[in-house]
Structure 1
Amino acid sequence: MRALSSTKVKTLFAGFVFSLVLLVGIAVFGTVATLAALGSPAYANTPLLFAFFRAGFPYIVTFLLDGLLATVLFVWMVWSAARRVSMPRSDRLAVFARIAERFSPKAREFGLEERVEPTKRDRMEELKSKYVADEIGEHEFERRMMRLMDDEEGERERTKTRRGDGRRSREFEREF
């Protein structure tokens, strides 16, 4: 859990807990202080609701500001933790991501498939670990590694072709 071991997330969590404890303290102290103030002669001829609001106003404002601070700290903490979480990469997840991208434009905009599909490096590391664990033989390891290398070369060629197509279409648009 890399996200929960972050110093920033721990600090935000501590601030969030402190602000919650402070909220409880403000509520208890404000209630007691307001009720004590209502018994003073200064509020003798004032309607009860106005007297209660006037005596408790500073505590209400403080409570709301601390509540806002607690909310900001909580959102910031969750956002920081979520950014540090690494998404697992797997071919199975990539299949589901492709399906989701077919049906959801938001998934396409997010680039879900690229985020979960294993990279060449991931595939090579997995292949090496299988070879070291004697799950595959040397011949199979070399064959699969060559296929990965060939796929990498093919991807480079496809990228060059896409770039060329993009340039041609831009030149065509300029002419017309």
Structure 2
Amino acid sequence: MGLVDDSRVTVLLGGFLLSLLALVGVTALGAFAVLSALLDPAAGAPVLVVLLQTAAPFVAVAAMLGVVSILLLVGLAVAVVRSASIPRDDRLARLARKVERYYPDARGLGLSDRFEPTTEDRIEELKQQYVAGEITELEYERRLQDLMGEEGVSDERVRRERDRTDRKRDREFEW
């Protein structure tokens, strides 16, 4: 799932952009109001008082919009990080296990489990190697059988993989 498909990210991004647009608009209106008040010859009050009376409401609204914008930006960053995919790789999993071994506090994060490729990931990688011609059909079959022996592989997935391999082999022999 891409970031654009995540409704939380989309809503937060839209809210952040709208709050920034509102902040720019309030700031522009405030600047226009202050300039108008300063250029008004009818006002007999001191310039500093006119400036403070005119700008105070705009500064308050701009400050609130700034806080809302910052909160939306932080929420957006958190949502993007959470929806980003975590790479699964044996090397990363080994590195995470070493870190967990030397730093006991890191065990609570469970990084090695997050980085450990699933059997499904391993089957996909094996299939890509076979399609790319990096391994022979015999090697593909042997490794696929080894992977199918692992726990957690659904029978449906095993059947689909065997069917795909059989269809590919049949197509190769048709020539």
TM-score by length of 2: 0.69
2: CA distance, partners of 1:105 / 1:18:
44
Q: Structure 1 residues 105, 37: closer, same or farther in 2, change over 3 A?
A: farther
Deviation at 1:47, TM superposition (A): 7.4
Where does structure 1 lack aligned partners over 5 or more consecutive residues? 154-176
Instruction: Name the SS of the counterpart of 1:23 in structure 2.
Output: helix
Instruction: Name the SS of the counterpart of 1:152 in structure 2.
Output: coil
Superposed, 1:76-115 pairs within 5 Å as 76-105=75-104, 107-115=106-114
Q: Structure 1 residues 133, 47: closer, same or farther in 2, change over 3 A?
A: closer
Q: CA RMSD in A?
A: 2.8
Where does structure 2 lack aligned partners over 5 or more consecutive residues? 153-175
What do the CA deviations read for 1:39-59 (whole angstroms, capped 9, x no partner)? 465661x572x4432321110
Which structure has greater helix proportion?
A: 1
1: CA distance, partners of 2:10 / 2:143:
43
2: CA distance, partners of 1:106 / 1:22:
44
Q: Which residue identity lines up with residue 119 of structure 1 in the other structure?
A: T
Give the percent of matched residue pairs that are identical in Structure 1 and Structure 2: 41
Q: Which residue identity lines up with residue 60 of structure 1 in the other structure?
A: V
Q: Structure 1 residues 40, 70: closer, same or farther in 2, change over 3 A?
A: farther
What do the CA deviations read for 1:82-104 (whole angstroms, capped 9, x no partner)? 22111111112212222332344
Highest RCO, 1 vs 2 (Cα 8 Å, sep ≥ 6): 1
- 8 Å contact 1:43–1:51 — kept in the other structure? no
Q: Structure 1 residues 33, 125: closer, same or farther in 2, change over 3 A?
A: same
Aligned residues: 151
TM-score by length of 1: 0.69
Deviation at 1:27, TM superposition (A): 1.5
2: CA distance, partners of 1:127 / 1:56:
66
2: CA distance, partners of 1:101 / 1:43:
72
